[in-house]
Every structure is written in structure tokens, then in C-alpha cells.
Chain A
Amino acid sequence: MPRIVKFSLIIIAVYCLLKIPGVFFTRPIPASVLSVYLLFAVVATLLAMTATGEGATGFIEPIASLFADPSKRAARNIVLVIVPIAAAWIAYAALRPDDAPPPIVRSIHPAPPAAFTAYGRTIELASLTNPYRASEKENPSQFRAAVDEGAEIYFKNCFYCHGAKLDGAGHYARGLSPSPVPFRGTDTIAQLQESYVFWRVAKGGPGLPREGGPWLSAMPAWEDALTEDEAWKVVTFIYDYTGNRPRSWAK
């Protein structure tokens, strides 16, 4: 089999493989990622196939002869028609007006401010700690009580959006964009320090910096509805219930 055919087959196979999650499991690999994956596949295959001298010539020869060999005239003409048409189609498809909104470039965890004002004072994020965290080891019954109260606060305030299973699938979730964050799994609060989560609860969507945009998130600012103590309890609860640990640094 000529190398160039082999090469094309490999790339087509990779493409099909990358399409499987989307076609069969409704979990499409985002186009932005897929195109880069494909690029890597093309480059790696190309390099592997041309590393040896004969490999390189075996690859280039058919292309060169297509253009130089008089007996390949028919094939050449076909290629010379198909390639420009394909290029034109790609250009057209890229420029065609389209009513889909542009991709959402949004940082889920934008950088927090160094300090913010809530509860009538300025709170420094660097020195902010959860008052209940220490009691987890020192006074477990006090800790459990805080978690239980946190649960109550959660189900009175948060579960409409963040879901009864803390999976981000509350009643309102479908209607919101950006969608409410699941607390389960390792992607969200497991990546954050508690001070960050507290800031998010206190200041909500309105408190996000610009990169949290482009429009406001529906996450309410809870500083007016929950006391500082309640806010810490609900933070403690969402960690405890999902089995996540706040991010911390070994000293």
C-alpha cells in the first residue's frame, strides 16, 4: 500500500475514533479540542512515517510524480479540480453567516481578589480559614452539628440550583447559563481552598471578576441572606457531603 494512502487511512481512523463519544454517547469531544487532537495525530504519523530516508522518499515520491509524470495526467487533473473545490468549501463553511452564538470563553474558577468586603469589613483571602475545620479532629460532635446545620441551610437555599444530590442538576439548572456547578467530583470545590469557596458564596455571581463573564452568573450573593456563620456551615456541609477535601498545601 503506498505510504500516502496508509497515512490517510490512519488519520481517518483516528477521526472516527474521536467522533465515537459524540455520536454514540452524547458526550461530544468539543470541536476546539478535537481539531487539536487531530493535528497531533497528523504530525505524529507524518514524523513516524518519514523518519527513515526511504520513508521520506516513499512519501514524497508519489506526490512528486503526480505532478511530473506525463502518464499521470488524468489523475493530476482530477486532483487539481478536487483540491481547490475542497478548499473553497472549507473557506465558505468557515465564513458562512450562522445564528449559533460564539463559544463561551469563561473561566470557571477566575482569580479571586486579594481581599473583599462583606459583613461590614474587609476580609483578606490569604488569612481566611473555616472556623469549623479545626473542630473536625478536635471536637467531632461540634463539627457534625455544624455540618447538620449546613445541610439545612443548603436545602433551604441552594438545592434549587445545585441539586439535591449536589450534582449541579437542581430544578432551575436547565434554565441557567452558565449552569450551576456540581460539588461532587474532582473538578470544582475539590480544586479550591475553602477561603475561595467562602468568597464565592458571600459575593456570588455579581462578585466575579470580568473573566467570569461575559454575562452575570445566576449564583446569588449570599452575604445579605446568610450570616457569616451560616455561610461557613454550608461550605463545611458541601465538602463533607461530597467527600471532597478543600485544597490545602503541605507545610
Chain B
Amino acid sequence: MLLLLLCISSVPVLTPSSAFAGDAVSQAGTGSAPAYMPAPRLKAEDYPKAGGVNPRLAVWFAAQMHLWFAAFVLAVPVFVLIIECVGVYTGDVRYDGLAYEFLRVSLTAYSITALTGAALLVSLVVFYPAVMSYLVSIFGSTMLLYALLFFVESGALYVYYYGWRAMTGPWKKAHVGVGLLLNAAGTSLMFIANAWVTFMMTPAGVDARGVFDGNVWHAVNNHLWNPMNLHRFIANVAYGGSIVGAYAAYMFLSSKTGEERGHYDWMGYTASIIAICGLLPLPFAGYWLTAEIYSYSQQMGINLMGGVLAWLFIIQAAVIGALFLAANYYLWCGMQRGAFAARYNGYIKYIAFVLAVSFMVWFTPHTPLLAPAEAAALGGQFHPWLAPLGLMPAKNTAVNVMIIFTFLSFLLYRRSNRAPAVKWADSGKAAQAAIFCAAIVNIVVAGVYYGYFTNTVYKVASSVIQVASTLFVIIACSVIERLIHRGAKEAGAYKWGAMPDGSQYALILIAVSFTWLMGLMGFVRSAIRQHWHVYSIMRDNSPDAFTPTVAYAARVVSIGTVVFLAIILFIFWLAQLGRRRDE
């Protein structure tokens, strides 16, 4: 990896055939400061050809594979560390074992991440040398840091994993410290890579011709860097949770004994809770990212949500809806593990109803696909009643309601094996109900009022009210829940393993949907740059500088998803072998 990085740093910064705009201008007047070149204007000859390989496809595929694996392996240590700390804090050794098992599942994926990373690098250097040398001329120093961090991460991982059994007792703290180092290094790696990617979308630290001002921080801290860091971090955690959840489901379904089933049921449950915790804030991070894209460039924003790519957001809406439904279904099934489940089963249908309706709103396109007869009947391209549902405020309202009801499913799940013990339990429950209702009213009113009756400037404001209401419900109700259950008797432990098999398919569905969704939306993010390598600064003049059709993109991503999942399945199988050997 490092070798490769050094290789690209030494690619000559100027490719001989490139013509430069205003060379003289940039030379003059810069005085003693190092002179940076403007972004090269590339010609068709600047893009090497290699046999029958389609350069864009090669880079796309390698980048996608690398991203999936990297997301997975960056996320796992985050929650492994948290679970390990929970284990230390509660003194419950089961957590320690679970954390270790999570880490083992992801271990093979580390080497594959490095391999796919190398493949990506090679394909970039081979097919887009001029682009890479321009980026290196700006980001060279961060690339060295990247290589360094990669070593730190590998070393920390090695110690963290292989030292798990050895570093106990007084060494446990040191072990947690190594985990912290591992996470710090991993997350920094991602942040650095994010800087390169976001620079290509919203360049900073360069002038209109691409002349770099010499300060790396300006280029790193560009417009989208932080929104992207946040969005990717949260999404990774959700994604990592979903993949280990799928592992647990796989093991659950192939377990022979009741004890094994119980173990993997618990593992799947923990993993899915992690995935859901990541999923809940994700729409907000996504909203921030989108708003920042719009504010950087209206054109990019409209490209993103208004043009052809909008169809991918419709798919996204459907897949996210499916994720929410699957998560809820899993919780409903999970309720059956508790002794009091029967009490709450009656609520399931109402929650399902609300989710379905929100999901429909969330999906409704602003301009639907119309048969000519329908267009004639409607007298235009919009459905007068449905079109308002196609706008952002309606989507925000729907997604907040979905989140609140998913949280309700979770509360019911928690209650399925314990009953409140304090005297004021009934008032506590009434308060919770009141908070739920008030928040929902608040969210709907804010969505409708700000969304349709005020200036567009305030649309963002409405989403703030909605998010605040949702967060308030989650926090306030959790607190009340804790208080009214203080000293509560558990009605026996959860009957781990007592789950219908269908619930496990829900876990697998969550992992598959996440993978597909990441691929599709990753394509959209990258595609809104259109024919630019670096948006508005360095033009893509290769024969591939066109936006592929949505169908083509969906095919590429779908094939990638299948390949990735096949490799993941192989990894699961390896992990299963490892486990057998351990026993």
C-alpha cells in the first residue's frame, strides 16, 4: 500500500501532452512562494487505454468494493470497543466474548479492504494519471499521513485482536487503549480520504483555474468535508451493524442446538440494535449533506434531486422504507421472546399502519411517471393532491414519524419482559403517551406550515423543529422508561432463540438493502460532478465523461452488490470454521 502511494507521489506532476491555461500568469507575480500550476486541460490522449478495459468501469468497481469493505471494517471496531467497555463496566463476560466474536468476523475483511484499496489505486494511476498527479500536487502531504496511519491502524488491530485473550486483568485497560488507538487511526483514515473526494466535488483552496494556494488545510476543509465525515461515520456504524447482524442470522439459521440458536439470536439482536441506532440519525445527516450541496451549487443540487438522478432517490426512498419495516418487524418478532408479549401484540397493526402510510408519503414522487392518458386526465405533469407529498417537507415529516414509531416498537419490545414497579407508573406512561402525541402533532404541523405556507428559506428551519421533536421524544421517553422501571422485576430472562425464522431473513434483508443503497447513492454523489474531475476546475475530457443512464448505473451497482455479498458470505464461512476450531 505504502509503496503504491510513493509511486503515485512520484508520477510527474506535468504530463507532457497537457496544455495549460494561463501558465505565464501563474508564474508571474507569485514571487518567492512555490508556484502551483493551474489544473491541466486534458485531451483524449491524456487518458491511457489498456486493452478492452473500460477505465471508468474499472475505477468505479474497484472504488465501490473498497468502500463497502472499508465501511465495514471501520465500523466494527467502533462498536466492538463500545461493547468491550460495556463488558468491563458491567463485569458481564458475555459482552467481552461477543465483542471478540464481532472482531473476528471482520478480520478477513481487513486484508480484502487493503487489497481492494490497492486495486483502486492501481486503476486510478493507470487510467487517470493526470488527474492523480494534480490531486497529488495538492494532497501529497495528506497521502503520506494516510500511509502512516494505515500502518498505525494495522499494528493496533494486530495487537487488539491477538492480544485479546492475553491482555486481561490489569492489562485490560491497556487493551481498551489499543482499541481506542485503532479507532482513532481508522476514523482519521476515512476523514483524510473524504477530503480528497469532497475536494473533487466542492474544491477549496484553489482559484478558478485550479491554482492551489499552498495551504493544505484549505483544500481539506472544503465545503462538504464535515457533512460527509458525519454522514459516512454514522452510515458506517449502521452498515457494520447490519453486516454482523446478517452474520448472526446466517449462524442462527444454520445452528443445530438450542443453545447456539440462543447465542446467535442475542448476537443478531445486539447487532441490529447498533444498526438501528445508526439508521435513526442518518436521514438528518443526509439532509445536512444535501443542503450543503445545494448551497454550494444550485446546479449540483438540482442535478442531485431534480434531474434524472432523482429517480435514484425514489429507489432510495423505497429501500429506506424497506429498512425501517424490516427493523420494526424484527423488533415485533423479538417481542415474542418476553413473557408479556401478548399484551402488546395488539399494537403491532397500528404501528404497521402508520409506517405504511408514512412510507407512501416518503416514496411519492413529485413528478410521477405518467401514461399519456393519465397526463391528459390530470391536465399536467403533477397530481394536484400528490405533488405536495413529493416535496422535501413532506418527506421530512414522514421520516420523523417513521423514526418515532420505530422507537415505539423498541419501547414495546423492552416492555415485553418487564413491568413497571413504581407507584406512579401509570402517570409515567400517560406522560409518555402525551409526549408522543405532542411531538407528532408538532412534526406534522411544522411540516405542513413551514413546508407549504412560507418562504423556502424557512424550509430548513422546519426540519430543525421536527428533528428536535423527534430527539425529545426519544430522550424524554427513555428517561421516563428508566425511572418507572426502577427496581422492576424482570419476568424471567428473554427466551433467546425463541424467534420465528422469518425475523432472521429480516436481518439479512437489512444488510442487503444497505449494501445496495450505499452503492446507488454513492453513484449519485459522484455523478453530480458530471463531466468534471474536479468540479468546475478540471474537466473530464475522456470518452467516458458522460452520465450513464440510471439503468446502466443500477446494473453496475447491483452486480457489485452480488459480488460483495458473495465475498462476505465466504468470510462468514471462514469465520464459522475459525469458531469450530476454537471450540
Contacts and interface: CB of A to CB of B under 8 A. Distances in A.
B37 interface: no
A26 to B, nearest CB: 6
A186 B389 CA distance: 11
A51 B303 contact: no
B4 interface: no
B377 A56 contact: no
A190 B380 contact: no
B352 interface: yes
Interface string A99-129: 0110111111111111000000000011000
Interface residues of B, number: 67
B544 interface: no
B364 A33 contact: yes
A27 B373 contact: no
Contacts of B366: 187
A104 B372 contact: yes
- A contact patch SS: loop
A216 interface: no
A29 interface: yes
B353 A44 contact: yes
Given A31-B371, A44-B352, A107 B306 contact: yes
A106 B380 CA distance: 12
Contact of A48 (B295, B352, B365): B352
Interface in A9-57: 21-22, 26-33, 36-37, 40-41, 43-45, 47-48, 50-53, 56
Contact of B536 (A32, A50, A114, A179): A114
Given A30-B371, A211-B308, A111 B302 contact: yes
Interface string B166-187: 0000000000000000000000
B352 A53 contact: no
Contacts of B348: 48, 51-52
Interface in B298-344: 298-299, 302-303, 306-308, 310, 318, 321-322, 325, 328-329, 332-333, 335-336, 341
Contacts of A28: 374, 377-378
Contacts of B335: 51
Contact of A126 (B298, B367, B369, B379): B298
29 contacts: A33-B364, A33-B365, A37-B363, A40-B360, A41-B356, A43-B325, A45-B352, A48-B349, A50-B502, A51-B329, A52-B341, A104-B370, A104-B372, A105-B369, A106-B367, A107-B308, A108-B367, A109-B302, A111-B306, A125-B299, A126-B297, A177-B375, A179-B381, A186-B391, A187-B382, A191-B306, A196-B298, A211-B307, A247-B456
